[in-house]
Amino acid sequence: MSDVQLPSEILNLSVDHRMELVTKIWESIAEDGATRPPSDAHAHILDQRLSEADSDQGALIPADEVFRELRDK
């Protein structure tokens, strides 16, 4: 990651305003459809979770059953 220095105008904003700015930046990235491959650590975790899910299909609960149980509460 680069060593980008934030302008003092940003650093002088309130936390709420900086959070709003971060949200707007994040949304603009999502709108551009920009994607990045997961890091090696995240890829490892994803592979591990997929492997666990594939090895124990009986432990999975269909979504409609989960939603039905939530509605019934």
Instruction: Please state the pTM of the whole predicted model.
Output: 0.46
Query: How many angstroms separate the first and last alpha carbons of the chain?
Result: 47
Instruction: Give Cα separations from 5 to 24, 26, 31, 45, 55 (angstroms).
Output: 19, 18, 25, 32, 47
14-42: per-residue pLDDT in tens?
999 999 999 999 999 888 877 888 899 99
Separation between Cα atoms, residue 8 and residue 19, nearest integer Å: 16
The domain limits of the chain are 8-72
Separation between Cα atoms, residue 7 and residue 3, nearest integer Å: 13
pLDDT bucket at 8, cuts 50 / 70 / 90: very high
